[in-house]
Structure 1
Amino acid sequence: MTEKIVFNIDGQTGRIDKILADFMTGTSRSQIQAWIKDGNLMVNDKAVKSNYKVQDGDLLELTIPEPEQINVTPEDIDLDVIYEDDALLVVNKPSGMVVHPSKGHLSGTLVNGLLFHVNSLSDGTANIRPGIVHRIDMDTSGLLVVAKTNEAHQKLAEQLENHTMERAYLALVHGVIPHEDGTIDAPIARMMIDRKKRTVADGGKKAVTHFEVIERFRDFTLLKLRLETGRTHQIRVHMKYIGHPVAGDPMYGPAETLSGHGQYLHAATLGFIHPTTGEKMHFEAPLPDFYSEKLAELRKN
């Protein structure tokens, strides 16, 4: 059953998501941002974004949707935890693992494993996403930071929003890229004919990807990519857009591509400011064996 909260702004100023988080004790700011993104907040009968600055006299109406009815069961899954403390942990996710449960993936996800191994996780943005600050695709391997507390979650989410969290990927792409580096600045939107896919389109959300060439092969190029923004499928969409789709990508790549364990995309580097200590944290994860073996094969050819 949905719930509606209506109240007036009286003398307060600042971002709407922060105002609501202060008002709704026990609800994370990231959860509120997710509700706003889904169009559940009206200010003076108009939808607004999370960065809307409230004004004295504004009338807010927030609709809290009924939680998704998916039971998340703890499962004894072998997780590659490369760092852990009282506030967070950093996990090296294998290719083929889904980050959180959904109607098509009710078990075997990272969240199922986390619930078994970790005593406490943040609320996340939904009951099926405890601890999840950011996601990577099922067939992408690599580093994720997971929050144990709501305070840690919020501070890490702010670093994502402010583009201060360091994230670098290694991608093997089709074709030989002649120049040494480049930047793709192209907005990304959901496709109208296939809502699961994204595309570069006018009116989409700003998306910026920086890349540099690491190694060239006869028909492929190994790239290091840094995300300035974090749109769904951003690297995969941007690489297709410039004519160099990620090898093994079942959604955006060509029919004839490299076989393996999904797309050759690996979240190799993760850096952030620790939400409790203020320390600069930096982590690197080596390529999965199947990825390294494919590169060795390409070098021989």
Structure 2
Amino acid sequence: MFTYRIRSSDAGLTCLQYLRLILPAAPQSYLKQLLRKGKVLADGKPASPDAPLVAGSVLTLPRSARLQELAATAAPMLVDILHEEDLLLVVDKPSGLAVHRSKGHEDDNLLERVRRRSKALGQEFQIAPVHRLDAETSGPVLFGKGHQAISSLGKMFMAGGIDKSYLALVRGDLPDKGRLDTPVPAKGTWKDAATAFHVRQRLGAYLLVELFLESGRTHQIRRQLADRGLPLVGDRRYGGPAVDGFQRLFLHCVRLSFRNPFSGRQLAIESALPPALSELLETLG
């Protein structure tokens, strides 16, 4: 049997919508047939196509040859939803996944996953990210729903209306708080860049640092810390130190804050440290 536990971010989807996300290569007619014949079980009972799923429920499908082939054809297009409203969506991006289609990420990227989810829900409006994170960096990404929302949120971002804070791990020393203000390369020239920081935790030779972007240059945090002689743990591009058993860049966006331009409400969307990062901190501590 194929077994899937329903996450909180997928609660409320109908069973058919969820099946379209986990089996994106399957024809909808085939999925409906499975449901009609009682082949899909929710907590051990035949699932209704239109009943909303509940977080923690277990969905099971038969391990038939066709389902195995469909499951192997394409990766599930699931996303972790941190916050959703009529005109905006905040998604928790994992490390290793690009925001947009790019070399090596043609078929699976965050935008494609969000579009697949939108299509599975029967939504026909345009949806697009307002900003981006490096593929290696994890954390929240804001999407606009519909052309007008995308435009409004994009203008807010360009005007500096979105605050982002990050957690990074370095080996070396820094004062308890301060600023990084070295320029960074951008499109063939050098651009001013500013990042405030404070040390959250001292772990022997390592520092857990919270950083607050005051400008938004590509690789700003990674480049500025490397120029300071403190490249991030796991940052192969800038010569960061390797830690045994740790396979990714230690950079995670923990908070996205902005005033919702449609409601006027102040939002602070937080993202928990991924398990691999938390486990490394426990090991070092």
Common fold: TM-score over 0.5: yes
| Identity among equivalent pairs (%) | 35
Question: How many angstroms does 1:76 deviate by?
Answer: 4.1
2:193 to 195, 207, 210: 207
Cα 1:258–1:146, aligned 2, differ >3 Å: closer, same or farther? farther
- Where 2:191 maps in the other structure, the secondary structure is coil
Question: How many angstroms does 1:283 deviate by?
Answer: 0.9
RMSD over equivalenced CA pairs, Å: 2.0
Hey, what's the Cα distance between the residues in 1 that align with 2:223 and 2:125? 32
Task: Tell whether 2:96 aligns with 1:111.
Answer: no
Cα 1:216–1:120, aligned 2, differ >3 Å: closer, same or farther? farther
Task: Tell whether 2:161 aligns with 1:164.
Answer: yes
Hey, what does 1:182 align to over in structure 2?
Answer: 178
Query: Residue type matched to 1:135 in 2?
Result: R
- Where 1:131 maps in the other structure, the secondary structure is strand
Question: How many angstroms does 1:279 deviate by?
Answer: 1.1
- Where 1:101 maps in the other structure, the secondary structure is coil
Task: Deviation per CA, 1:149-182: give whole Å up to 9, x if none.
Answer: 22222222222222221100000112132x1111
Task: Deviation per CA, 1:47-70: give whole Å up to 9, x if none.
Answer: xxxxxxxxxxxxxxxxxxxxxxxx
Hey, what does 1:243 align to over in structure 2?
Answer: 229
Query: Residue type matched to 2:157 in 1?
Result: L
Query: Residue type matched to 2:116 in 1?
Result: F
Q: Does the 8 A contact of 1:209 with 1:229 survive in 2?
A: yes
Task: Tell whether 2:142 aligns with 1:135.
Answer: no
Q: Does the 8 A contact of 1:166 with 1:272 survive in 2?
A: yes
Cα 1:191–1:83, aligned 2, differ >3 Å: closer, same or farther? closer
Question: How many angstroms does 1:229 deviate by?
Answer: 0.8
Query: Residue type matched to 1:78 in 2?
Result: L
Q: Does the 8 A contact of 1:96 with 1:139 survive in 2?
A: yes
- Where 1:295 maps in the other structure, the secondary structure is helix
Task: Deviation per CA, 1:202-247: give whole Å up to 9, x if none.
Answer: x511211111000011121000000011111111001101111110
Cα 1:120–1:251, aligned 2, differ >3 Å: closer, same or farther? farther
Question: How many angstroms does 1:105 deviate by?
Answer: 1.5
Hey, what's the Cα distance between the residues in 1 that align with 2:179 and 2:208? 16
Hey, what's the Cα distance between the residues in 1 that align with 2:139 and 2:129? 14
Hey, what's the Cα distance between the residues in 2 that align with 1:191 and 1:131? 23
Mark the runs of 5 or more structure 1 residues left unpaired by the alignment: 1-73, 123-129, 193-202
TM-score w.r.t. the length of structure 2 is: 0.68
Hey, what's the Cα distance between the residues in 2 that align with 1:156 and 1:187? 27
Question: How many angstroms does 1:294 deviate by?
Answer: 0.2
Hey, what does 2:95 align to over in structure 1?
Answer: 95
Q: Give the structure with the larger helix fraction.
A: 2
- Where 1:286 maps in the other structure, the secondary structure is coil
Query: Residue type matched to 2:210 in 1?
Result: K
Q: Does the 8 A contact of 2:232 with 2:241 survive in 1?
A: no
Cα 1:256–1:161, aligned 2, differ >3 Å: closer, same or farther? same
- Where 1:287 maps in the other structure, the secondary structure is coil
- Where 1:294 maps in the other structure, the secondary structure is helix
Hey, what does 1:223 align to over in structure 2?
Answer: 209
Report matched runs for 1:190-201 at 5 Å: 190=186
Hey, what's the Cα distance between the residues in 2 that align with 1:288 and 1:274? 26
Mark the runs of 5 or more structure 2 residues left unpaired by the alignment: 1-73
Q: Does the 8 A contact of 1:97 with 1:109 survive in 2?
A: yes
Task: Tell whether 2:252 aligns with 1:252.
Answer: no
Q: Does the 8 A contact of 1:92 with 1:143 survive in 2?
A: yes
Q: Does the 8 A contact of 2:167 with 2:211 survive in 1?
A: yes
Cα 1:121–1:285, aligned 2, differ >3 Å: closer, same or farther? farther
Cα 1:120–1:148, aligned 2, differ >3 Å: closer, same or farther? farther
TM-score w.r.t. the length of structure 1 is: 0.65
Query: Residue type matched to 2:179 in 1?
Result: T
